[in-house]
């Protein structure tokens, strides 16, 4: 029909107006994967190990969910990504545990299966920062909700109620005596004989904000503190020692630590490089120009490995391995890593290496790297669309300067595929806009690139050579033209013809009569403009604070969300506002989507709203959906909704 199917404010504009992004919620389930997927012919990267076979359940009648958004949320399913890995540890040569932003993951390298554990299983929080395996096989996780342990059958969580100083736990390690040490923003705690004992600056700790903890082979425990330097605790003497600039460190901002097989400590000082403790003083071991160092590991022969990661104004440089007495060999995406941002590294007894990257878990076996991953590329999903074959496509464009955003993910109900620049994706991994054209082709906005994908071939239609800025929106007109809103212009494409309009858009919609509607930012006076055969008409009304979202329904109506005014509908003659009194929950709509049946869906501060006839239907999801932060909505022909949220990809099946 050529109408605009869904419309939302781009992440960049949303950040500018400071309206949408709400807090994450933590929920989940357990899933196991086997069986290989065929190699794709569309340029994507196959999942490795392969994705799960779906399990039909009486409750959902579909694929077993990775997480329920709320225990009481009937019809809601959340797919969390486990691909942003923050910590990694080998439990044996074949078992790897990963701390991810989507829960704790156990990977079994013998059969390429994995199990995901999340909050509903007993994990303190889905946001996990570090992992360590104790000598008795118990696995310990540092999370944003406390410390959790898993003994192979049961989870146990420790929080401030159990005498932890804080639930914000950033690091942990297990000492040679079996004691577990946890680093928080309010000191460190030692767990032994069933109880936690906390140590702070009053006891000798250099600073209460602890970023990393490492237990050495001699029983001493080392701590990287945010502003106090490096602390060392000797349990046998109950003695604290602090190392600062007077001991050879360039400053006191310690970020990550490691202790070699011989007991020699290594520390990364932010922006200054890696220093090694040589008996009495710290000496430079690696300069790390322009790269942050997030972790270290040592091979059995003592060879050090360094994991570099993205920091302020810098990207990671992959893994570094000491090559001889002086040089360092670099391992990055060219050698097979999924990303050069490596948050952690671990080495098994047999020499295999695990690299925790922001785009999956890299494993080096037999001299070759492969990537383990499942679910959306990232948990922060910014755009979603559904192609005629039923596949759900999601993008992850968050405009971060120092980290790959994740590219594009495709989910057909069984298999996840990933399109990234590492795998030959022809444009930026920051995909902030995904739309489906009338012919079923996929249109992508990634940075300042506009690309069309017909299932086989990528065609670039706009690139960064023009003075257009990032792609904000894409809409399809009845005459076959494609309208594109960039940060500085509105562009009409039809065949090889290109027409540029010097209007600054925030959002875009094409009505059924072919007229083009453009919302504006407050920096250019706000308002909304309409282009038809007679030219441009600007409606200022009281829209000077900016227009967040636009949508055009098949009945000829145009809908917009104006800052300070709420949701309005234009029938060609007059504007009508909708508020709580009319049944619109919250009186504001941050995302507007036109479903295939012509009805309107909106995300509000109180959940989802559906406008049918002249009535609003409200789907609050027990009040929890608004806290997820909806960035985009796509509606399948059968009425199923897919939501791009700040905490995963959410599927919603309304009751008939």
Position 64 pLDDT exceeds 50 = no
Q: What is the pLDDT of residue 112?
A: 77
Nearest 5°: phi and psi at 591?
A: -135, 135
In terms of average pLDDT, the best of 332-336, 343-347, 505-509 is 343-347
Task: For residue 436, tell me if it sits in a domain.
Answer: yes
Q: Quote the pLDDT of residue 171.
A: 97
For residue 497, is pLDDT > 70?
yes
116 — pLDDT class (breaks 50, 70, 90): very high
Beta strands (DSSP E) in 447-510 are 449-453, 458-462, 471-476, 482-486, 490-494, 497-501, 507-510
| Non-local CB neighbours of 161 within 8 Å, separated by 6+ positions | none
pLDDT at 355 over 80: yes
Does residue 434 sit in the same domain as residue 565? yes
Contact present, 371 and 82 (Cβ < 8 Å): no
The predicted-structure confidence for 147-197, as pLDDT tens digits, reads as follows: 999 999 999 999 999 999 999 999 999 999 999 999 999 999 999 999 999
pLDDT tens column, 291-310 = 899 999 999 999 999 999 98
Residue 170 tokens, joined: 């950033």
Average pLDDT over every residue of 347-355: 97
Q: How far from each other are the two terminal CA atoms of the chain, in whole angstroms?
A: 25
Residue where one domain finishes, among candidates 377, 397, 427? 377
Could you give the number of structural domains in the chain?
A: 2
The pLDDT score that the predictor gives to residue 290 is 75
DSSP assignment string, 21-74: -----------B--SPPPPPSSSPEEPSSPPPPP---TTTSSSPPSB-SSTT-T
Asked if 424 and 529 sit in the same domain, the reply is yes
466 versus 233: the higher-pLDDT residue is 233
Whether the Cβ atoms of residue 266 and residue 230 lie closer than 8 Å to each other: no
pLDDT at 634: 98
DSSP string, 239-295: EEEEE-GGGT-S-S-EEEEEE-TTS-EEEEETTTEEEEEETTEEEEEE--TT-EEEE
**In a shared domain, residues 439 and 559:** yes
pTM of the model: 0.86
User: Among 377, 394, 414, which residue terminates a domain?
Assistant: 377
pLDDT at 13: 47
Looking at residue 526, its pLDDT comes to 86
Taking only the tens place, the pLDDT of each residue in 475-492 is: 999 999 999 999 899 999
| 384, 405: one domain | yes
Q: Are residues 631 and 536 in the same domain?
A: yes
Same domain, 426 and 573: yes
Q: How many CB atoms lie within 10 A of CB 286?
A: 20
Where residue 18 sits, what CATH number does that domain have? 2.130.10.10
More confident residue, 35 or 428: 428
Within a domain: 647? yes
Arithmetic mean of pLDDT, 64-91? 71
Domain boundary residue, one of 342, 377, 412: 377
Query: 466 and 585 in one domain?
Result: yes
Is 82 inside any structural domain? no
CA angle 50, 55, 56 (to 5 degrees): 150
Q: Which is more confidently placed, 646 or 60? A: 646
pLDDT category at 35 given cuts 50, 70, 90 is: very low
Residue-level pLDDT at 229: 97
User: What residues does 97 pair with on adjacent strands?
Assistant: 89, 106
Across the range 500-504, mean pLDDT stands at 91
* Residues 459, 335 share a domain: no
pLDDT tens string 52-61: 222 222 222 2
Residues 517, 387, single domain; the answer is: yes
Q: Is residue 560 part of a domain?
A: yes
In what order do the strands lie in the sheet containing 353-357? 342-347, 353-357, 360-365, 368-372
For residues 511 and 611, state if they share a domain.
Answer: yes
Question: By the 8 A CB rule, do 429 and 448 touch?
Answer: no
* pLDDT over 60 (residue 407): yes
3-class secondary structure for 613-627? Answer: CCEEEEECHHHCHHH
335 lies in the same domain as 434: no
Closest CA to 335 of 324, 346, 320: 320
Tell me the pLDDT tens digit for each residue of 356-371: 999 999 999 999 999 9
pLDDT one-digit tens code per residue, 238-268? 999 999 999 999 999 999 999 998 899 999 9
- The answer to the question of residue 162 being in a domain is no
Look up the domain containing 510 and give its range: 6-22+379-652
Q: How far apart are CA 624 and CA 642, in angstroms?
A: 16
* DSSP symbols for 400-429: -SSS----EEEE-SS-EEEE-GGGT-SS-S
Same domain, 459 and 325: no
Least confident range of 40-49, 281-290, 622-631 = 40-49
* 98 within domain boundaries: no
pLDDT recorded at residue 402: 55
Contact between 406 and 420 under an 8 Å Cβ cutoff? The reply is yes
Task: Note whether residue 361 is domain-resident.
Answer: yes
Has residue 540 been placed in a domain? yes
Position 383 scores a pLDDT of 96
Cα 72 to Cα 506: distance, rounded to the nearest angstrom? 37
pLDDT of the residue at 242: 97
């Amino acid at each position: 029909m050529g109408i605009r199917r869904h419309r939302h404010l781009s992440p960049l504009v949303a950040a500018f107006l400071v309206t949408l992004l709400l807090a994450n919620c933590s929920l989940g389930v357990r899933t196991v994967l086997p069986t290989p997927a065929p190699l794709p012919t569309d340029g994507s990267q196959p999942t490795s190990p392969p994705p799960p076979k779906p399990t039909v359940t009486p409750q959902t009648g579909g694929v077993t969910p990775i997480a329920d958004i709320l225990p009481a949320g009937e019809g809601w399913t959340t797919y969390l990504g486990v691909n942003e890995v923050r910590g990694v540890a080998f439990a044996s040569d074949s078992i790897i545990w990963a701390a991810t932003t989507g829960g704790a993951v156990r990977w079994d390298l013998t059969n390429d299966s994995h199990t995901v554990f999340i909050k509903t299983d007993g994990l303190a929080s889905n946001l996990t920062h570090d992992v360590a395996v104790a000598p008795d096989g118990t696995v310990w996780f540092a999370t944003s909700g406390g410390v959790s342990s898993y003994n192979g059958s049961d989870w146990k969580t420790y929080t401030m109620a159990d005498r932890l100083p804080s639930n914000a736990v950033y690091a942990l390690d297990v000492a040679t005596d079996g004691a577990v040490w946890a680093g928080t923003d309010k000191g460190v705690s030692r767990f032994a004989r069933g109880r936690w004992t906390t140590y702070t600056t009053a006891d000798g700790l250099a600073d209460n904000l602890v970023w990393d903890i490492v237990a050495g082979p001699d029983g001493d425990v080392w701590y990287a503190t945010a502003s106090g330097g490096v602390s060392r605790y000797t349990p046998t003497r109950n003695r604290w020692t602090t190392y600062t600039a007077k001991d050879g460190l360039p400053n006191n901002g310690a970020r990550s630590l490691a202790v070699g097989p011989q007991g020699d400590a290594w520390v990364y000082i932010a922006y200054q490089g890696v220093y090694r403790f040589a008996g009495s003083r710290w000496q430079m071991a690696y300069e790390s120009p322009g790269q942050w160092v997030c972790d270290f590991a040592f091979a059995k022969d003592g060879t050090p490995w360094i994991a570099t990661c993205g920091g302020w104004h810098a990207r990671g440089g992959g893994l570094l391995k000491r090559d001889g007495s002086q040089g360092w060999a670099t391992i990055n995406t060219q050698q097979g890593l999924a990303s050069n941002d490596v948050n952690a590294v671990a080495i098994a007894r047999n020499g295999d290496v695990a690299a925790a990257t922001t785009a999956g878990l890299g494993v080096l076996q037999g001299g070759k790297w492969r990537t383990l991953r499942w679910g959306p590329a990232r948990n922060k999903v910014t755009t979603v669309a559904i192609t005629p074959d039923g596949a759900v496509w999601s993008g992850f464009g968050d405009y971060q300067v120092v980290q790959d955003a994740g590219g594009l993910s495709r989910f057909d109900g069984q298999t996840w595929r990933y399109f990234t620049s590492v795998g030959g994706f022809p444009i930026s991994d920051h995909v902030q806009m995904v739309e489906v054209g009338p012919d079923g082709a996929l249109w992508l906005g990634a940075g300042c690139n506009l690309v069309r994908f017909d299932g086989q071939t990528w065609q670039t239609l706009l690139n960064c050579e023009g003075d257009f800025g990032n792609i904000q929106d894409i809409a399809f007109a009845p005459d076959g033209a494609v309208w594109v809103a960039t940060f500085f212009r509105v562009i009409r494409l039809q065949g090889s013809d290109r027409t540029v309009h010097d209007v600054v858009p925030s959002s875009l919609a094409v009505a059924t009569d072919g007229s083009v509607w453009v919302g504006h930012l407050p920096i250019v006076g706000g308002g909304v403009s309409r282009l038809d055969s007679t030219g441009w008409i600007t409606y200022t009304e009281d829209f000077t604070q900016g227009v967040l979202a636009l949508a055009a329904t098949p009945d000829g109506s145009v809908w917009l969300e104006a800052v300070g005014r709420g949701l309005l509908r234009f029938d060609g003659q007059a504007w009508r506002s909708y508020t709580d009194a009319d049944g619109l929950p919250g009186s504001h709509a941050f995302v507007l989507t036109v479903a295939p049946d012509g009805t309107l869906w909106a995300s509000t501060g109180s959940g989802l709203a559906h406008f049918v006839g002249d009535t609003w239907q409200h789907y609050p999801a027990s009040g929890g959906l608004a806290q997820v932060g909806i960035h985009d909505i796509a509606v399948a022909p059968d009425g199923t909704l897919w939501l791009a949220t700040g905490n995963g990809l959410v599927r919603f099946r309304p009751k008939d």
